[in-house]
Structure 1
């Protein structure tokens, strides 16, 4: 049998014998919006836990709309035009509307890439579009610490706007439970000190900092506290299927509207699987998520619940932009130098994480369960920085794993971290 795994802007084939016991783990077919534009316009007028946007924005002089950066396949070309038009209709001047790319600690999105992210030429021509810079101290407002001590410093363009709207894609997230909503604010437009505090060792090591988990998740708790510090916000959320088609949109008060989207997508993205496997094959979800090895780690953690102790996690990722940031490369070098135990001991001593080392810590979760085998030929010499085993042929790697374990039962997750296998039941 042939299975196509998401890989870059296409797929990579996996050929397995028909005699093997292969479990392909995918979402059930999701309902696709027949009229996506109409759906967005409808929820803007019939929000969850808030007034219609035309009423919320009446009398406002400024508005700030947050959008995700290029690592997320958000259909901003669908979401932004109705938002901007409604704000203009409410009387907000065009020069008072800012679209802010919620980069967190990622690099800025510029030129053609920025046009791709925004997705609509009229929006680019009509309103200001800018990037968030987490290292710019003066660009943030200090709102004081949360009850658990996280310093809350948020981009002043968002905090000081009369109307604050976060847009985002709701999907499983391996630390915060689910993406979208409050996550677009923090880490999206948070200062380095905020991000590195609630991404430190203690947060990452918490067992509830996991895919599809909100209750008891310390990152989610801090994100909600940060929303309160900001003074609340509105949110427009979208859920897409495996073909990147919009399936539902929600709008309204940021927490309530986000939970409504989570309730929808959970029924599809969290898939019950009755057993564990010695061989699990997955992807890093294709473009744009698999542009870097940094984002590939999400695919390694996604199927962890169904990987047998000592099993093989085989993952395919395009990695067209290489490893990721210089800070992340440094974290990976420390992992190679100190080993798993030494690396964890070092970061456990700190209240603030070094930038991007949390991704290395999450990779270690899977390394402690089994062996990670990576198919990413475009990484070249950088493969030595991953700390995992490189495989030159995806199908051959799966055959070798089956021979090694003497078990022809194989699990395959073609969509990578957008589908989360849950052992024995729903998340």
Structure 2
């Protein structure tokens, strides 16, 4: 079995007496070319597209390099549909939904938009530039929704992205292109703060969890923000673990996203027979392990298959470091109570991810195979390793002789659940 690490991989074999199962999505190979899949989805919202008029200014929102979506395939097909009805390239702009992430390089822009690079204007969202922001309105929870003014001033708005699990918004895709995708830092922080229950020491809202939308306060905030933006339609893909487009959904932003989430949950949730002593998890290689904030998804999902006190080996290269300059600073707090108190007083999105990391580091024994300095890994409550073999050697010293194990080759795409 091959487990990916950045752009490389390691061979891994576990004796059958220890292996409970290899956890993979139950998804078949695509039966059509990606262009056909996307084209058929666009056909289903042809009436909406044909309501556009020549001269309309069109803004297309799409994800950054940390979330591969198939954009270099679907964006040219989408722009071609717009060209067919008289929308000129010069009236179209692509806005990269960075949220609070770093700006993209020219090389990354080329990868995101494919053959459209140089034809259609491409812009990075800046969550900290007041001149680029406009107030859309306020959610019922009191969140002021400030967004990139281009999605307010444009004549037509199209949201694109990919659907997958999200560890506290339930699912990615759809409404997330607006909040946090093109929202101000303040709005991003406020929407993510909804993950915490009201009241000091009340902890995380149990409904703000992976794969759940019902009653999820973070999802609700994002949906209300998207409604304020009133996109004309969305185009979302569903990808196989090897990043091929296996489905596409286009149409009204709410109903279309819901349908995509239902399909994703059917194929990417894995019913467990039992919890294991050991879980070996690869994020799936680059870009899923581009930084620790992205790799945390695989840690979160993989932990669902692990008994309390069990051992996780997480393969996450993290070539871009933590993904945010302030992330590591949160680990000066050593207890969850101390951490939560400060998080409520000085909330940061990355602080929430760091808090979730510490929760798992205290509940399980996690061996992180990465490029981080060993001292920093230990400061986060985990054990460092440079190779898979080194990590497995450490794990064996912590496990009983008759240990049970799961292997998860694509940890960022599959969610173990109780059967």
| Bin of the TM-score, shorter chain as denominator length | over 0.9
CA contact (8 A) 1:322 1:379 kept: no
Aligned to 1:100: 95
Corresponding residue number in structure 1 for 2:366: 372
Evaluate the alpha carbon distance shift between residue 320 and residue 410 of structure 1 in structure 2; reply closer, same or farther with a 3 A threshold: same
> Does structure 2 retain, via aligned residues, the 8 Å contact 1:239–1:261?
yes
More deviation in 81-90 or 375-384? 375-384
Taking the aligned partners of 1:112 and 1:310, their CA distance within structure 2 comes to: 43
Aligned-residue offset at 1:277 = 1.2
SS at match of 2:196: helix
Number of positions where the alignment pairs a residue of Structure 1 with one of Structure 2: 412
SS where residue 95 of structure 2 aligns?
strand
Q: String of CA shifts for 1:217-263, please: whole Å, max 9, x gaps.
A: 11111111101111244111111112211101110111111122112
Q: Deviations over 1:375-406 (max 9, x none)?
A: 11455664355332113442453454355331
**Mean alpha-carbon deviation: is it higher for 337-346 or for 286-295?**
337-346
Residue 166 to residue 250, structure 1, CA distance change in 2 (3 Å): same
Which residue in 2 is equivalent to 1:174? Answer: 167
Distance 1:268 1:398 in 2: 30
RMSD between aligned residues: 2.0
Contact 1:45-1:54 at 8 Å conserved across structures = no
Distance 1:132 1:93 in 2: 22
SS of equivalent to 1:211 = coil
The equivalences for 1:13-412 within 5 A come to 13-47=11-45, 52-59=47-54, 61-118=56-113, 120-121=114-115, 123-200=116-193, 202=196, 205-331=204-330, 335-350=331-346, 353-377=347-371, 379=373, 382-398=376-392, 400-406=394-400, 407-412=402-407
Deviation at 1:198, TM superposition (A): 1.4
Q: Say if 1:310 and 1:259 are closer, same or farther in 2 by CA, change over 3 A.
A: same
Shift of 1:86: 1.4
Deviations 1:349-388 (CA, angstroms, capped at 9, x unpaired): 35xx225212102213322421221111455664355332
- Give the distance between the partners of 2:375 and 2:355, measured in 1 at CA: 22
Structure 2 CA distance for partners of 1:397 and 1:125, relative to 1, 3 Å? closer
Q: CA deviation at 1:93?
A: 2.9
CA shift at 1:101, angstroms? 0.5
Q: Residues 355 and 177 of structure 1: is their aligned pair in 2 closer, same or farther, counting only changes over 3 Å?
A: closer
1:33 CA drift (Å): 4.1
**Displacement, 1:413?**
0.9
1:5-29: CA deviations, max 9, x gaps?
2221232232322432342101124
What's the secondary structure of 1:255's corresponding residue? helix
Verify the 8 A CA contact 2:316 2:370 in the aligned structure 1.
Answer: yes
Structure 1: distance between partners of 2:315 and 2:393: 15
The 1:294/1:92 distance shift into structure 2, 3 A limit, reads same
**How far did residue 271 of structure 1 move?**
0.7
The secondary structure found in structure 1 opposite 2:285 is: coil
TM-score, normalization by structure 2: 0.92
Ranges in structure 1 where 5+ consecutive residues have no aligned partner? none
Distance 1:303 1:383 in 2: 19
Q: Unaligned 5+ residue runs, structure 2? A: 198-202
- What is the deviation of 1:52? 2.7
More helix by share: 1
**Aligned-residue offset at 1:325:** 1.8
Distance 2:219 2:68 in 1: 22
Partner of 1:291, secondary structure, is coil
Q: What's the CA shift string for 1:263-308, capped at 9, x where partnerless?
A: 2221111110121112111122311121112222111111222221
- 1:415 aligns to what? 410
CA contact (8 A) 1:170 1:265 kept: yes
Secondary structure of 1:154 counterpart = strand
Cα offset, 1:409, TM superposition: 0.7
Distance 1:129 1:380, change over 3 A: farther
Change (3 A) 1:282 1:54: same
Secondary structure of the corresponding residue to residue 126 of structure 1: coil
